A and B are shown apart, each in its own frame.
Chain A
């Protein structure tokens, strides 16, 4: 099995995702977007970065690229797809997941470690955790505030498609622990199928033990369990 990491012009966490997956023993390769999605891709990462410079709206250009149409087809057929940071923005822009990630409440880029509460442990991306477990993973974004209208958020929550919420060290999703003003502290959501997930925090930056904590490994292991 080989996970395809889709590189757009401006992607900058593609190599990081590759290194992190390979550390976990998951085969991965970087795919240039113009070359199309390999037919035998067993999973897809939409990595972080600034695709097309984010000059229109974060993720908006990449969402309309031919390869993302192929990713959507693969996702519908059950191939696991994980969007991280800019990849999460692309996921929402392309309709893989609901809602949108927009400008942080601070209107500034924020790079820091945050706590996340695992809302469900019965998905491929969270099978390594307990429900309610608090993990520490970094964020690095200027446009990570999750927005969605109230009715759709309620449906999303009722359907159990909220995967992670920003919380304090004790697991409380408080306003103070919300780094960017996301609605209901939402940090990551599932698509229609639970094999599709997007999140703003960077699990690949919390995977390699030689540079720090490894709480993010469980998310990437989703490619093994999905």
Chain B
């Protein structure tokens, strides 16, 4: 891939000369889809990114949101940062290193804001679990995340794993990071002052990951696993851990004016974006960069994506302190130049190799106006399945099954903040600095957005918000990772546009600003495009760190809130795991009419003293949620109204929760006028699930449920 002819013409017109090889390489990378969002930016204005809690919105390395003061509800001085990144193509070519470096990148985005990383969430998407290649990718990706995340001491507390045949040739690895900072520590990626030094701290620069940004902006070729391996970087979590601690000292010392991590397009990307954001330029001498191998040329130094490097703007009088800290942590450090008025210039051995306007380099790429075709709504074609078979098949399907084999490999407790860890609806992390529990939920649902991109994406947003509310927390903000296929195909682009609009609509309805994100297109291979996949990571806040458990206690009543299908008798199975397993199609469920009030009420009820357990009803539907609540010591007796057993048990309308309570009347009152409430039955002291539905009675004990849910670990252990 080289700079497209039409782009070259624009560059020549601006520069009034031919670009040098280094400039051409910079434009090629920074104007790539991966960096410049040329096909997606026209759509992203749909998102509401402002709100009373938002301190720094989209466009920086990570977003910054103020936590509410638990006493007054006003913004406190304690902030969390949110960022999300995809590492899809590298994880296909080299699952271990691709996934590991994805973690490294989003953690450095957190450091850039003057924050300390306190939690990670990974949303992973693979082809069907019964394919050997999917298992190989899953094992490699999980091991890569485990290796890197565990070593740097950042707990992986939440996430999601989905399997769908259309990820066969292109898995997705989306990683979100939450960091902790405050009003005093906050820095941004906006250069402040001409004359300040630009200091590169971290690993030496080598010839690795050349052209990663442009590699991420093409479809994966059939021979990508061998041909594109040099475009994948190799991570060094030990260096990253040293960088985290060095950054912490530098931030505490107050010697950083602005910061940007080196990610896509390496030093050229980070340094030019930093100064462009401040409306400034730079004078950089490339030979000053500390290098790992001899005889590197200007283009290699400028664009290598060697990992674990940060670019800092430092006032001249503080440069010695930065050197001292870097040395203490055995990190390389070089003063590569300074912030300047005028152009972004780079010299190499006395020769000027780059001399361009930084703003033009960063923002000058023309946007693509692509044709979009609306996807068709599916027709209704329902299979006829025995209910007992359906229960076993759906509960044990890899999408619904336990993910313990995966999250057991992640250190989810380091940092001693994890109050609720993976395997629950949402994680809860203790931010003692503000007496606040931060709830985190991350995920998408490929079956939903495959069946109905717009409604499915609305459902993804509501589902993540419901997960957060099930812990008693109220959503604060979200970041999205929008994954799509080749946008030059009009039906693919139409589906992508629909998920953007759907996600934006529901987030705005829920007053949850989308404060940042990432777009990954060209997730396309010979196997075809991926389903449009809008991973959303939602954070919420609550007073205190406790949350009701997911598992049932042997007492109290069981109530289902938010189920429109039970109320109307019109269950729609579109997008369900049931139809994915048994082949069929249907309309996508109608979503709740008052989602914002529903979320608010659920958060309040979850924290009520009479509430014993809460579980979100989502993937796999009511059947799976009921099964997940049963333990060897406590069970459920549920009677489900209506005459459509399969529809009632397996439809996947989000915005529902099962609540075990001592006081069902209080739950009914709380949801009056907000959402339907159905009393399903009661808890028992026997580890069994008993469901009466239509003319059927389903019975299964906890041991059998555990066995069904062990699909993944049974296969991989």
Q: Could you list which residues of chain A lie within 8 angstroms of chain B, going by C-beta atoms?
A: 9-10, 12-13, 15-16, 19-20, 32, 34, 48-50, 52-55, 106, 108-112, 138, 140, 142, 202, 204-205, 207-208, 210-212
Chain B residue numbers with a CB within 8 Å of A50 are 150-151, 237-238, 241
Q: Give the distance to chain A from B329, nearest Cβ to Cβ, in Å.
A: 7
Q: Give the distance to chain B from A10, nearest Cβ to Cβ, in Å.
A: 5
Whether the Cβ atoms of A10 and B418 lie closer than 8 Å is no
Q: Complex formed: what's the CA distance from A106 to B408 in Å?
A: 12
Return the contact of B241 from the options A12, A20, A211 (Cβ within 8 A): A12
Q: Complex formed: what's the CA distance from A206 to B416 in Å?
A: 9
Q: Complex formed: what's the CA distance from A34 to B328 in Å?
A: 9
B372-414 CB contacts (< 8 Å) to partner A? 407-414
Please judge, given known A-B contacts A53-B151, A111-B408, A210-B432, whether A16 and B237 are in contact too, CB under 8 Å: no
* Minimum CB distance partner of B244 in chain A: A12
Q: Top 10 closest A-B pairs, CB basis?
A: A12-B153, A53-B238, A50-B151, A211-B419, A16-B416, A140-B411, A109-B409, A111-B411, A109-B146, A205-B413
Q: Kindly state whether residue B708 has any CB partner on chain A within 8 Å.
A: no
Q: Give the distance to chain B from A108, nearest Cβ to Cβ, in Å.
A: 6
Task: Encode contact with A along B214-243: 1 for CB under 8 Å, 0 otherwise.
Answer: 000000000000000000000011100110
Q: Complex formed: what's the CA distance from A19 to B433 in Å?
A: 13
Chain B residue numbers with a CB within 8 Å of A212 are 419
Chain A residue numbers with a CB within 8 Å of B418 are 211
Q: Kindly state whether residue B717 has any CB partner on chain A within 8 Å.
A: yes
Please judge, given known A-B contacts A9-B238, A49-B153, A109-B150, whether A211 and B408 are in contact too, CB under 8 Å: no
Q: Kindly state whether residue B417 has any CB partner on chain A within 8 Å.
A: yes
Q: Complex formed: what's the CA distance from A16 to B416 in Å?
A: 6
Whether the Cβ atoms of B430 and A210 lie closer than 8 Å is yes
* Minimum CB distance partner of B146 in chain A: A109
Chain A residue numbers with a CB within 8 Å of B413 are 111, 138, 140, 202, 205
B134-173 CB contacts (< 8 Å) to partner A? 143, 146-147, 150-153
Q: Give the distance to chain B from A54, nearest Cβ to Cβ, in Å.
A: 8
Q: Kindly state whether residue B415 has any CB partner on chain A within 8 Å.
A: yes
* Minimum CB distance partner of B410 in chain A: A111
* Minimum CB distance partner of A204 in chain B: B416
Q: Complex formed: what's the CA distance from A205 to B415 in Å?
A: 9
Please judge, given known A-B contacts A9-B329, A111-B411, whether A210 and B419 are in contact too, CB under 8 Å: yes
Chain A residue numbers with a CB within 8 Å of B143 are 108
Q: Kindly state whether residue B545 has any CB partner on chain A within 8 Å.
A: yes
Q: Could you say which of A16, A32, A52, A109 has the most chain B C-beta atoms within 10 Å of its C-beta? A: A109
Number of contacting residues on B, CB 8 A?
33
Q: Give the distance to chain A from B488, nearest Cβ to Cβ, in Å.
A: 41
Q: Kindly state whether residue B330 has any CB partner on chain A within 8 Å.
A: yes
Q: Give the distance to chain B from A215, nearest Cβ to Cβ, in Å.
A: 14
Chain A residue numbers with a CB within 8 Å of B330 are 9
Q: Complex formed: what's the CA distance from A207 to B413 in Å?
A: 12
Chain B residue numbers with a CB within 8 Å of A9 are 238, 241-242, 245, 329-330
Q: Complex formed: what's the CA distance from A68 to B416 in Å?
A: 26
Chain B residue numbers with a CB within 8 Å of A54 are 151
- Provide 20 A-B residue pairs closer than 8 Å at the C-beta atoms, listed in order of the A residue: A9-B241, A9-B330, A10-B151, A12-B151, A12-B241, A13-B153, A20-B416, A49-B153, A108-B146, A108-B408, A109-B409, A109-B411, A111-B407, A111-B408, A111-B410, A111-B411, A140-B411, A202-B413, A205-B416, A210-B430
Whether the Cβ atoms of A19 and B409 lie closer than 8 Å is no
Q: Complex formed: what's the CA distance from A167 to B430 in Å?
A: 30
Please judge, given known A-B contacts A50-B151, A53-B151, A210-B419, whether A12 and B432 are in contact too, CB under 8 Å: no
Q: Give the distance to chain A from B676, nearest Cβ to Cβ, in Å.
A: 35
Q: Complex formed: what's the CA distance from A204 to B146 in Å?
A: 21
Whether the Cβ atoms of A111 and B152 lie closer than 8 Å is no
Return the contact of B430 from the options A12, A48, A205, A211 (Cβ within 8 A): A211
Chain A residue numbers with a CB within 8 Å of B416 are 16, 19-20, 204-205, 207-208, 211
Return the contact of A111 from the options B153, B242, B412, B430 (Cβ within 8 A): B412
Chain A residue numbers with a CB within 8 Å of B245 are 9
Return the contact of A12 from the options B414, B417, B419 (Cβ within 8 A): B414
Chain B residue numbers with a CB within 8 Å of A202 are 413
Q: Complex formed: what's the CA distance from A53 to B203 in Å?
A: 14
Chain A residue numbers with a CB within 8 Å of B430 are 210-211
B319-359 CB contacts (< 8 Å) to partner A? 328-330
Q: Complex formed: what's the CA distance from A120 to B167 in Å?
A: 54
Please judge, given known A-B contacts A53-B236, A211-B430, whether A140 and B150 are in contact too, CB under 8 Å: yes
Q: Give the distance to chain B from A26, nearest Cβ to Cβ, in Å.
A: 15
Q: Give the distance to chain A from B429, nearest Cβ to Cβ, in Å.
A: 9
Q: Could you say which of B410, B415, B419, B717 has the most chain A C-beta atoms within 10 Å of its C-beta? A: B415
Please judge, given known A-B contacts A109-B146, A111-B409, whether A12 and B237 are in contact too, CB under 8 Å: no
Q: Complex formed: what's the CA distance from A208 to B432 in Å?
A: 12
* Minimum CB distance partner of B430 in chain A: A211
Q: Complex formed: what's the CA distance from A111 to B415 in Å?
A: 14
Whether the Cβ atoms of A13 and B414 lie closer than 8 Å is yes
Sample of 9 further A-B pairs with CB below 8 A, known A10-B241, A110-B408, A140-B413: A9-B238, A9-B241, A9-B242, A9-B329, A50-B237, A111-B411, A138-B413, A211-B416, A211-B545
Q: Give the distance to chain A from B551, nearest Cβ to Cβ, in Å.
A: 14
Q: Give the distance to chain A from B149, nearest Cβ to Cβ, in Å.
A: 10
Q: Complex formed: what's the CA distance from A111 to B330 in Å?
A: 30
Q: Give the distance to chain A from B421, nearest Cβ to Cβ, in Å.
A: 9
Q: Could you say which of B238, B241, B414, B416 has the most chain A C-beta atoms within 10 Å of its C-beta? A: B416
Q: Could you say which of A13, A205, A208, A211 has the most chain B C-beta atoms within 10 Å of its C-beta? A: A211
Whether the Cβ atoms of B414 and A53 lie closer than 8 Å is no
* Minimum CB distance partner of A108 in chain B: B409
Q: Give the distance to chain A from B515, nearest Cβ to Cβ, in Å.
A: 27
Chain A residue numbers with a CB within 8 Å of B242 are 9-10
Q: Give the distance to chain A from B414, nearest Cβ to Cβ, in Å.
A: 6
Whether the Cβ atoms of B414 and A140 lie closer than 8 Å is yes
Please judge, given known A-B contacts A19-B416, A50-B238, A140-B414, whether A12 and B409 are in contact too, CB under 8 Å: no
Chain B residue numbers with a CB within 8 Å of A109 are 146-147, 150, 409-411
Q: Could you say which of B237, B328, B330, B414 has the most chain A C-beta atoms within 10 Å of its C-beta? A: B414
Q: Complex formed: what's the CA distance from A49 to B242 in Å?
A: 12
* Minimum CB distance partner of B716 in chain A: A108
Q: Complex formed: what's the CA distance from A50 to B413 in Å?
A: 15
